[in-house]
Chains A and B, each alone.
Chain A
Amino acid sequence: MRNCYIHSAVSISAQNTFASEDFLLDVIAHNTKKTQAIYPNFKDFIAPIAARRMQTAVKMGVVTANKALQIAELNQPDAIITGTGMGCITDTEKFLNSIITNNEAYLTPTSFIQSTHNTVCAQIALGLKCNAFNNTYTHGNLSFESTLIDAQLLIQQQEAKHILVGGVDELGTEFVEYVQMMEAKESKGIKVPFSEGATFAVLSSEKKVNAIKLQAITTILEASKEEIILKLEAFLAVNDMDANSIDAIILGNNGDAYDAYYELTATSLFPHAVQIEYKHLIGEFHTASAFAFWLGTKVLQKQHIPKDVLKNSRQNKSIKTVLLYNQFKGKDHSFILLKTC
């Protein structure tokens, strides 16, 4: 069975992660309920004739994907796989509201055709003139994780060598208000801002200098805290590891009551591992965990942990293996193992 290596990872987030070479050096504190990502100047990357129909998700996706390909020195991937929780929600809201406002009259097609979930993936393929395998997952907070599962399968089964994967979600304007309104009714709701972003990566069967290995990934639909501990131990065992093999854990704490999952995992299994959190910096959204994938890759490559993500004291040893754990409201759990080669 072939290994799966990460040749590049690029992220647009609510921090300056796209344009800056610094690794989360000067972070921005977000004290608002919602926050947009920090956009690059899209006009520098997308021709006006192509950009005129694109909303934020498509722009973020296309630009991030192209940079990921560039860093990996890849012109044409063998597959492009995208994950998105809400899809192109801006155009969805736009078309929906014009139906309601105009009572189904004088509607134009642009926002409808751009509203489908596969628009980002399609526009990446269109820009590259890439006829290869093209897939879009939309499975709540496992949308990005599904792209990794598909990509790993394509590589392991030798159906593809170089694969572009990514997760992207945009904030939109209306639906997010309703979601936040419901969240505000929770006794211990999400504390970090609602946000957006795009993370793309090139995965490959070829080992490169400094490449990081995607060792394993698994997803669990629903489980209690106690079951998660057992499932995590089993996941590590399948990969010939135990809790002591993990040097750092990256957790998806967002301040809500379900952070208890992370707390129990950290204290009961990984008291000696370096503990990293990130959602206070980039916010919460369906594909926020793709940022953790970017973060984990960078930590392993740079052997450095930015102070604003470090949650406990840093041990003075090298970081060879990182575990990512994310969940949402006690559902949509995912474990991802990244390793240096």
Chain B
Amino acid sequence: MPNEPTNKDTAPRVAVTGMGIISAIGNSVQENMEALLASKSGIGSISKINTVHADQIRVGEVAFSNDELISQQQLSDDNNFTRTSLLGLFAAKEALKNAKITGINSYKTGLISSTTVGGMDKTEQHLKTFKTSSESQKYISSHHAGDSTKKIAKQLGITEFSTTISTACSSSTNAIMLGARLIKAGKLDRVIVGGTDALTKFTINGFKTLMILSDEVCTPFDEHRKGLNLGEGAAYLVLESETIAKKENKSIIAYISGYANTNDAFHQTATSENGQGAYLAMQKALDFAHLKPAQIDYINAHGTATPNNDLTESIAIKRVFGDDIPDFSSTKAYTGHTLAASGAVEAVFSILALQAQTVFPNLNFKSKINETGLTPTTEIKKKPINYVLSNSFGFGGNCSTLILSKE
């Protein structure tokens, strides 16, 4: 096959011009930033879902109730927004505001969202009354995973292009990746990318059956880690072609420099012993960005604090970075694991790390994992940060890595 010139290197760079987030540590980018800098976790007892497991789990809940989110967003009384949609709309609006976008259709603008649970928070409450109650019936059509995206697109006035990705816990990283690819290909000028997931009984019980929920605040990368804390939230980035961002005099807060999507192809839930999928994702993202491992200043790890993930992610990190492991931390002990939203939540945190030139500490770490001996960064660390690598891995072997840069 002859070497044809590729578009990869001549395509426009993908600039991030805005972001929005709602999570257990805050209802805005600013609040999330303050909590990260103060090493303040959002993990606590569950208050919004009635579950028999309440005493045995800790979760990262968003403070606002559905009613509060509905009234803030001025939705009509008969709306059929699920919590997933409400969180998503809230964060997407902040992202647009943050990017100073007013005329949504002055450029070709798309929305790529992601979710794992979709409308499950309402389905699990109303399933047995769908037949009889008209109040329940409005949530039949909001169950499927594309519903939240469609609602957000409609509220934001996006008509050009929209889709929804669901690759378990790597979903929103893949949404960011698709957005970047569409901009590089010139198919879109701007795109809002990210994901949203509400806490549900469905996921709490699901992870419970896998015996990977911790009854304490999670301890990523610690030898004695007991499992994960589930969280909820939403986060979105506004991506723009650099050419257009500059023409519009936008302030560019980061660039999407590299990305890769791979599959571990080992088991539906367990990861391969040498972390092959994770290794390939990191390595391919570095290759895509034309970066050497030594140029990565900070890794925002997936670090769910399950025995399986943290061990194999550590092994994969060692395979990529050798003896020269960059500062790394998992921020799951702040927000809990927000499933489909986690990739975008952590992309926001990665950009905050670039802006503040700060590595956010990995909370609750005490002792190194025996097999790998890696120590995450455990205190606020100020240093020059140009490149951040962020990992997101999910069930089904889905592995994705994103590299964000300052320049």
Name A's B-contacting residues (CB within 8 A): 53, 80, 85-87, 95-97, 99-100, 103-105, 107-109, 112-119, 121-123, 125-126, 128-140, 142-143, 146, 149-150, 153, 156-159, 174-175, 178-179, 181-182, 219-222, 286, 331
A115 to B394, CA, bound (A): 13
Q: Which residues of B contact A158 (CB under 8 A)?
A: 4, 6-8
Of the candidates B137, B143, B146, B268, the one whose C-beta lies within 8 Å of that of A126 is B268
Q: Is the CB of A131 within 8 A of B166?
A: no
Interface set, chain B 171-220, CB cutoff 8 A to A? 174, 178, 181-182, 184-185, 187, 201-202, 205-206, 208-210
A142 to B144, CA, bound (A): 12
Q: Is the CB of B131 within 8 A of A178?
A: yes
Q: Is the CB of B262 within 8 A of A182?
A: no
Please, which residue of chain B has its CB at the minimum distance from the CB of A120?
B396
Contacts A95-B206, A109-B209 given: A137-B166 contact, CB under 8 Å?
yes
How distant is A112 from chain B, measured CB to nearest CB, in Å?
4
A97 to B201, CA, bound (A): 12
B376 at the interface (CB under 8 A from A): no
The 29 listed contacts between A and B (C-beta, < 8 Å) are: A100-B124, A104-B51, A113-B206, A115-B206, A117-B116, A117-B166, A118-B166, A118-B168, A123-B396, A125-B397, A126-B265, A126-B267, A128-B265, A131-B262, A131-B263, A133-B263, A134-B263, A134-B398, A136-B165, A137-B166, A139-B150, A139-B163, A146-B163, A157-B181, A157-B185, A158-B4, A159-B181, A181-B131, A219-B161
How distant is B213 from chain A, measured CB to nearest CB, in Å?
12
Q: Is the CB of A109 within 8 A of B265?
A: no
Q: Which residues of B contact A143 (CB under 8 A)?
A: 146
Q: Which residues of B contact A179 (CB under 8 A)?
A: 140-141
How distant is B312 from chain A, measured CB to nearest CB, in Å?
14
A161 to B185, CA, bound (A): 16
A104 to B202, CA, bound (A): 9
Q: Is the CB of B268 within 8 A of A114?
A: yes
How distant is B399 from chain A, measured CB to nearest CB, in Å?
9
Q: Is the CB of B263 within 8 A of A139?
A: no
How distant is A152 from chain B, measured CB to nearest CB, in Å?
10
A105 to B128, CA, bound (A): 18
Q: Which residues of A contact B184 (CB under 8 A)?
A: 157
Q: How many A-B residue pairs have CB under 8 A?
A: 191
Contacts A95-B206, A122-B268, A175-B143 given: A132-B263 contact, CB under 8 Å?
yes
B329 at the interface (CB under 8 A from A): no
Q: Which residues of B contact A221 (CB under 8 A)?
A: 150, 153-154, 158-159, 162
Please, which residue of chain A has its CB at the minimum distance from the CB of B139?
A178
Q: Is the CB of B264 within 8 A of A118?
A: no
Q: Is the CB of B398 within 8 A of A131?
A: no
Please, which residue of chain A has its CB at the minimum distance from the CB of B145?
A138
Contacts A104-B52, A136-B166, A222-B159 given: A113-B150 contact, CB under 8 Å?
no
Q: Which residues of A contact B264 (CB under 8 A)?
A: 131
B 117-157 to A, binary, CB cutoff 8 A, 1 in contact else 0: 01000011001101100000100110111110110011000
Q: Which residues of A contact B168 (CB under 8 A)?
A: 116, 118
Number of B interface residues at 8 Å Cβ cutoff, please give it.
69
Please, which residue of chain B has its CB at the minimum distance from the CB of A80?
B263
How distant is B143 from chain A, measured CB to nearest CB, in Å?
7
B276 at the interface (CB under 8 A from A): yes
Please, which residue of chain A has its CB at the minimum distance from the CB of B281?
A131
How distant is A326 from chain B, measured CB to nearest CB, in Å?
15
A182 to B139, CA, bound (A): 11
B 1-35 to A, binary, CB cutoff 8 A, 1 in contact else 0: 00010111001000000000000000000000000
Q: Is the CB of B166 within 8 A of A108?
A: no
- Knowing that A122-B397, A131-B276 touch, tell me 15 more A-B residue pairs with CB under 8 angstroms: A80-B263, A96-B202, A103-B52, A104-B53, A107-B209, A108-B209, A112-B206, A131-B265, A132-B263, A136-B166, A142-B163, A158-B8, A178-B137, A220-B159, A221-B162
B 33-54 to A, binary, CB cutoff 8 A, 1 in contact else 0: 0000000000000000001110
Q: Is the CB of A99 within 8 A of B201?
A: yes
Of the candidates A86, A114, A134, A146, the one whose C-beta lies within 8 Å of that of B397 is A134
Q: Is the CB of B166 within 8 A of A182?
A: no
A181 to B276, CA, bound (A): 47
Q: Is the CB of B147 within 8 A of A134?
A: no
Q: Which residues of B contact A222 (CB under 8 A)?
A: 154, 159
B261 at the interface (CB under 8 A from A): yes
Q: Is the CB of A139 within 8 A of B146?
A: yes
Q: Which residues of B contact A146 (CB under 8 A)?
A: 163-164
Which 8 residue pairs across A and B have the least CB separation, nearest first? Answer: A122-B396, A112-B206, A117-B166, A109-B209, A140-B146, A134-B263, A139-B146, A138-B145
Contacts A99-B124, A109-B209, A158-B6 given: A135-B144 contact, CB under 8 Å?
no
Q: Is the CB of B396 within 8 A of A121?
A: yes
Q: Which residues of A contact B209 (CB under 8 A)?
A: 107-109, 112
B269 at the interface (CB under 8 A from A): yes
How distant is B351 from chain A, measured CB to nearest CB, in Å?
24
A143 to B163, CA, bound (A): 8
Q: Is the CB of B144 within 8 A of A286?
A: yes
Q: Is the CB of B395 within 8 A of A118?
A: yes
Q: Which residues of B contact A103 (CB under 8 A)?
A: 52
A123 to B268, CA, bound (A): 7
How distant is B82 from chain A, measured CB to nearest CB, in Å?
15
A140 to B149, CA, bound (A): 10
Q: Which residues of B contact A286 (CB under 8 A)?
A: 144
A133 to B261, CA, bound (A): 5
Contacts A132-B262, A134-B398 given: A156-B268 contact, CB under 8 Å?
no
B231 at the interface (CB under 8 A from A): no
Of the candidates B178, B280, B398, the one whose C-beta lies within 8 Å of that of A122 is B398
Q: Which residues of A contact B128 (CB under 8 A)?
A: 100
Q: Which residues of A contact B182 (CB under 8 A)?
A: 153
